[in-house]
A and B are shown apart, each in its own frame.
Chain A
Amino acid sequence: PAAAQEFKWTVQTAYASGDDLHMTFVRLAEMIEQMSGGRLIMEVSPGGAFVPAFDVLDAVNDGVIDAAGGDADYWVGKHPAGSLFASAPGFGMPSIDLMGWMYYGGGKELFAEYINDTLQMTNTVSFLLSPAQAQPFGWFEEPVTSAEDIKGMKYRTPGLPVDVMREMGAAVVTVPGSEVVPSLEQGVIEAAEYFGPKADMILGLPDVRKIYMMPSYLQLGLIQNFFVSKERWDELPDDLKAIVTYAVMAESADFYWKGLDENSKALAKMETEMGVKVTETPRDVMEAQLAAWSAVLDRYAEQDEFFAKVLDSQQDFAARVVPLKARINPPADIALKHFGFE
């Protein structure tokens, strides 16, 4: 049967076009086009194409673009709770577990409340997309050997992690995204984190720093969002609505799987071909990170009722899930040792 109707959406993301974060929306568009037999087509442009990256959500709400890609770390200026839906460590839940909270622990409803009520973006339908792996601690001149080393370090990170690093005593420097690599190269900042092995490699971080530290509790992954203008959403027939809803879930899983493949390859390439030295973050530094996170989160929760409500909901879910995973998953080091992957 011929396609009943054709919908064409102009979509802009908050990311650079080579970025994994941008590419997930490009693949989502491909999936939706295939599933709908070409009835719904999305033209995806990178951050800055129509509006600045920080404004994609507002632009969807105003109808300036039809749909957008971003993550709620971008809206911590509008309301700090955004971080809890994006990359904050969620009581020890990495983003793939946070997705569980979103779908089965009440997170999705809270996120809709955040977008539609707290931020007053009443003309926006939001989706949760593409959980990412934990984000490394970043690129340093010398390995960090203890939490003491952080004190006075000129470090660059965005969003609530700025509060956390300040809590740990770092001299957090604000540098616009476009200046991160030049600033590291010239030494205006000593250290910085970006996103993950593949994205960091594309940005050129291994060309300006060689010590790559991981793991880190600073950002335990990231969940992205797909925002659709309510007008555009309402005019879709039910089957196309279902296609969008399930394509979002399919791409979310695929993003994680693909991330395992691509990030492991990128890390190997950086270590073997680009002289990068991957260094393990000391335990006391990670403990200090979590302590600083708790202090920061408590401060915000005290000031804001909604923030506290989201935090409570996460804690309830984490109290079940984090112990479950600790009990049910055998420790990784046994397998690493047994198979000789170390």
Chain B
Amino acid sequence: MSFGVILGFVQLASLLVGIFAGFPIAFTLIVLTVFFGYLGLGDRAFDLMVYQAWGVMGTETLAAVPLFVFMGYILEQAGIMERLFKGFQFTLARVPGALYIGVLLTSTIFATATGIIGASVTLIGMLAAPVMTKSKYDPALSAGTITAGGTLGILIPPSVMLVVLGPVVGVSIPKLFAACILPGLLITGLFLAYTLVRCWINPALGPALPEAERPANWRVAVKELIVGMTPMLVLIGATLGSILTGVATPTEGAGMGAAGALILTILYGRFTLPRLRMALYQTVIVSSMILFLLLASNMFGAVFNRLGTGPWIANLLVSWDLPPFGVVMALMIVVFLLGWPLEWAPIVFIFLPIFLPIVQQAGLNLLWISALVAVNLQTAFLSPPVAMAAYYLKAVAPQWHLKEIYSGMFQFVGLQVIALILVLAFPAIALWLPAVMFD
């Protein structure tokens, strides 16, 4: 073990200390990068940081983040999402946990439009968190539902992570997209079942509407749902529709959504210049928080990798000469563990390529392995301390403590593990759809 490898491990340990000390997480990551980078690499580490910043700044697809955040603030001001969730609650007035269903369905639909976690968690958080708080929903379960639902976008195509993962493993991107659809829907199903069962056992987690607030009859409920749904359908048309029909790229689709929200506000007579200025200003602050954090975690991952710690772990595993099943298990466990401190990108870039030859030697189906890795990496967003989804939500739902958000997320990490085991045990979940579509 070289000096660099040891430094990398110390860097990880320091991250835990630094983050829990309570200094802003983005700067903790940057400061640790500077410190350990300099110890291990000299002043080259500073250049490495600039390259990482430049990489994030040049990623055009991330321009969707400010666009979706802006859309969220405009919608919040116009009260459009509140009406949609109200409609849900009205229609399902007697069902405890109706809002969880609303959040998860919205997240799943949203996931088919974008794979940018920062955008989906923030947008859904902005719109759902106030309603959930007002309706006295359990903070932990609410936060867990929003963060877990928001990360579905990275698994359900299109997704940047899958586009990067495909060529690394050597499987076709359209096939990988197809392979991840059913696991994605399986996870949505697990999330739905979990929240509903918990609310059924303990209705206090997602109280049904109080008798007094319930609609007089089903006609009122349906009307509210339609009134609530219509603007949302217009927006989905503008965002999703424009992306899925090839009118717009994902970034442009986000822009269409923002413009659509703005037009709706004008139509609803809710537009004022001060409101617009406020929405724009908050967009700057929240986008900056999200993207600066992303940049900082990329810097941290790059220096960690450059110190040689990631390759060292991978090479150690390769040297163990495991049987095929052992290879899969080792891969899954290490990806899961690395997902705690790191984001998906450093794992895909450094760890997988070293590990890939033994996966190939073991004669394992690469499409299946890729789908497993994708499900596993989705968990990385939900596992603290570097759990981006938690921080994104915290930025727009300051009423919830991180402790509550973490505890909600941990429940959903458990569901992710169940999904992972299911895909491990039944490879057809991943392999059936691509076989039907492409063979």
Contacts and interface: CB of A to CB of B under 8 A. Distances in A.
Instruction: Answer whether A and B touch in the complex at a CB cut-off of 8 Å.
Output: yes
Contacts of B350: 45, 49
Interface of B: 41, 44, 47-48, 51-52, 54-55, 58-61, 157-158, 160, 163-164, 166-176, 243-250, 302, 305-306, 311, 345, 349-350, 352-353, 356, 438
A51 interface: yes
23 contacts: A18-B166, A48-B349, A50-B48, A52-B55, A55-B54, A55-B55, A63-B47, A64-B47, A176-B61, A178-B163, A178-B164, A179-B250, A181-B174, A182-B158, A182-B250, A187-B246, A201-B172, A202-B171, A203-B166, A204-B175, A204-B176, A207-B175, A207-B438
Interface centre among A52, A186, A202 (most CB of B within 10 A): A186
A250 interface: no
A203 B44 contact: no
A17 B173 CA distance: 14
A183 B311 CA distance: 34
Contacts of A43: 311
Contacts, number: 116
A306 to B, nearest CB: 26
A55 B174 CA distance: 28
A202 B172 contact: yes
A43 B246 CA distance: 41
A182 B176 CA distance: 12
A196 B248 CA distance: 28
A234 interface: no
Interface of A: 10, 16-19, 43, 45-46, 48-52, 54-55, 58-59, 62-65, 175-176, 178-179, 181-183, 185-188, 201-204, 207-208
Interface-centre pick from A59, A63, A179 (highest chain B CB count, 10 A): A179
A320 to B, nearest CB: 40
Contacts of B247: 188
Given A50-B305, A187-B246, A208-B174, 12 more contacts: A18-B169, A46-B349, A48-B55, A49-B305, A50-B48, A55-B54, A178-B164, A179-B163, A182-B163, A186-B243, A188-B246, A207-B175
Nearest to A54: B58
Contacts of B61: 176, 178-179
A303 B348 CA distance: 43
Contacts of A59: 47-48, 51
B168 A16 contact: yes
A19 B167 contact: yes
B60 A176 contact: yes
B59 to A, nearest CB: 7
A256 to B, nearest CB: 21
Identify the 10 closest CB pairs spanning chains A and B, nearest first. Answer: A187-B246, A204-B172, A16-B167, A18-B170, A52-B55, A207-B174, A51-B51, A186-B246, A49-B349, A204-B173
A304 B253 CA distance: 40
A208 to B, nearest CB: 6
A96 B350 CA distance: 32
